[in-house]
Amino acid sequence: MLTVVLKLVTIVAERVLQERLLHELKELGARGYTLTEVSGEGSRGVRASEWEGHNVKIETIVSPEVADRIIEHIANHYFQHYAVIVYAQPVEVVRGNKYI
Amino acid sequence: MLEILLTNLLSPIVLAFALGIVAQLIRSDLSFPEPLYQALSIYLLLAIGLKGGAELSHTHWAVVLKPAFVTLLLGMLTPITSYVVLRKIGRMDRINAAAIAAHYGSVSAVTFIAAQTFGQLQGTPAEGFMPALVAMLEVPAIVVALMIVFLRSNHHGSWRDGLHEVLTGRSVVLLIGGLLIGYLSGMEGLKQVEPFFVSGFKGALTLFLLEMGLVAARRLRDLRKVGAFLIGFGILMPIVHGVLGVVLGSWAGLSEGGSAVLGAMVASASYIAAPAAVRISIPEANPTYYLTASLGITFPFNLTLGIPLYFALAHWIGG
């Protein structure tokens, strides 16, 4: 089957940001996403406190341009005050037009 | 006083809380799965809403009016007193002071429940409509504290998102929703759900307090980071607010038990509604400060010593 290469963007963020991020992802051009509850440790310490909520992992497959826009948006708006990481990697998908 | 204190310290809910703390300190593998914690908090909030609403349905509005007015007043006053103390005496920066003030102005539902349970145990039960006052005390303080930040500086959080978070947060929705259901269906309606929501209540509360002990003990590790001032604040501010609540409650015509429970409510610091709203709206504020003060210091203090103190004071005023 024919595959095309797109970008898989993964965001791991504190739970309070979930609704905001999902809303903004769609505005930035993502067509869909997968959401998982996760926990872990990073530069801001263990983030597993129920009182702040778990972390969420949001994955979305998008065109390279949208991927850049998402990463830039998150870097500008969230890196300073929130516990967030974002990264992108190339993925091979079928039905490429489903995602862009 | 000593007798009241012992009755409280030896109640199952306080002992369960202590067990939670011990379990965490000895690094036991005991932990609550998050869905269980969620389920218990939904159950407790809806249960107190239902009971309060059913009581409201046969209470004359004039009886509630003055206590409600006093509650609203205290809800707007306590974030300001907290803020002023944190700024002037604690020399804290504006952002963190406002974030902590939001917590100390708002109310902890579990402290309220513990106080109400204690009142029944003492033979001085509070008025049945008290849950309605909890709902009224929860929101204004957070709004006032957010206003302090948003009116006096420009920063990154969103004021609208924060307000949305408070008003649609599960504690407000369940409490006000429960009050409405209880009010509309009346005492007859409460009877239908009594076996589940009333009989099981204290058992569920005991479980919840066990979890609270685990969570509070996790915050204890941060005590060193927050400093002596905030530890003192976490104990003395509740006493000042508690005394204010008892005195004004008694002035508003609440019974001995009612004034004491109002005192405990005003003294308590929120750790469900306020942290979520503050994290969204004032992200620059350090969660270690407000969560440790509210959960690690004030909640254990009120649960063990504060509640008997407010009851003793109410008794003294009433007698």
pLDDT of residue B316: 94
Q: How many other C-beta atoms lie within 10 A of the C-beta of residue A8?
A: 17
Nearest CA in chain A to B158: A20
The residue type of B235 is I
Task: Tell me how many degrees the CA angle B181-B164-B38 measures, rounded to the nearest 5.
Answer: 60
* Nearest chain B CA: its distance from A82 CA (Å): 7
| Residue A88 banded pLDDT, cuts 50, 70, 90 | very high
pLDDT one-digit tens code per residue, B142-185: 999 988 888 766 665 677 777 887 888 888 899 999 999 999 99
What's residue B164's pLDDT?
82
Distance CA B204, CA B209 (A): 9
* Residue B156: predicted pLDDT: 57
Residue A53 touches chain B, beta carbons under 8 Å: yes
Q: What percent of chain A has pLDDT above 90?
A: 59
Rounded CA-CA distance B7/B9 in Å is 6
Q: Please choose, from the candidates B147, B141, B176, the residue with its C-alpha nearest in 3D space to the C-alpha of residue B160.
A: B147
Phi/psi of residue A7, nearest 5 degrees: -105, 135
What pLDDT, on a 0 to 100 scale, did the predictor assign at position B154?
Answer: 63
Structure tokens at A74: 């998150």
Go through B266-304 and write b for each residue having 16 or more CB atoms within 10 A of its CB, e for each that does not. bbbbbbbbbbbbbbbbbbebebbbbbbbbbbbbbbbbbb
A45–chain B Cβ distance below 8 A for any pair: no
Q: How far is CA B185 from CA B162, B194, B217, in A?
A: 32, 13, 40
- CA–CA distance, A34 with A57 (Å, rounded to integer): 8
Q: What is the side-by-side order of every strand in the sheet holding A84-93? A: A34-38, A55-62, A4-14, A84-93
Sign of the torsion angle spanned by Cα atoms B309, B313, B316, B319:
negative
At B277 the pLDDT is 85
Residue in chain A lying closest to B271 (CA): A51
Chain A hits for B276, CB-CB cut-off 8 Å, are 16, 53
- State whether residue A61 sits within 8 Å of chain B by CB: no
Tell me which residue in A16, A80, A81 faces B276 most closely, judged by beta carbons: A16
CB contacts, 8 Å: B283 with chain A: 81-82
What is the distance between the alpha carbons of residues B149 and B139, in angstroms, rounded to a whole number? Answer: 16
Long-range contacts of A65-69 (CB under 8 A, 24+ apart): A65/A29, A66/A7, A66/A28, A66/A29, A66/A30, A66/A100, A67/A7, A67/A9, A69/A28, A69/A29
Which of A16, A50, A80 is the closest to B37 by Cβ? A50
Could you tell me how many CB contacts below 8 A there are between chain A and chain B? 31
pLDDT at B155: 61
Contact (CB<8Å) B276/A53 = yes
Relative to beta strand A84-93, strand A4-14 is antiparallel
Residue ranges of A 74-93 with Cβ closer than 8 A to chain B: 77, 80-82
Which among B156, B283, B295 has CB closest to A51? B295
CB contact under 8 A, A16 and B156: no
Q: What is the pLDDT of residue B319?
A: 58
**Residue spans of chain B under pLDDT 70:** 152-157, 319
Question: pLDDT of B73-103, one tens digit each?
Answer: 999 999 999 999 999 999 999 999 999 999 9
pLDDT tens figures, A43-85: 776 554 445 567 899 999 999 999 999 999 999 999 988 889 9
Phi, psi of A58 (to 5 degrees): -115, 125
Is the Cβ pair B275, A82 closer than 8 Å? Answer: no
Cα B222–chain centre separation: 21
ipTM for this model: 0.71
Whether residue B215 and residue A51 make contact (CB cut-off 8 A), yes or no, is yes
What pLDDT, on the 0 to 100 scale, is given for residue B148? Answer: 87
pLDDT tens digits, residue range A28-38? 999 999 999 88
Cα B73 from Cα B116, distance rounded (Å): 21
pLDDT of residue A52: 54
Residue A45: per-residue pLDDT: 62
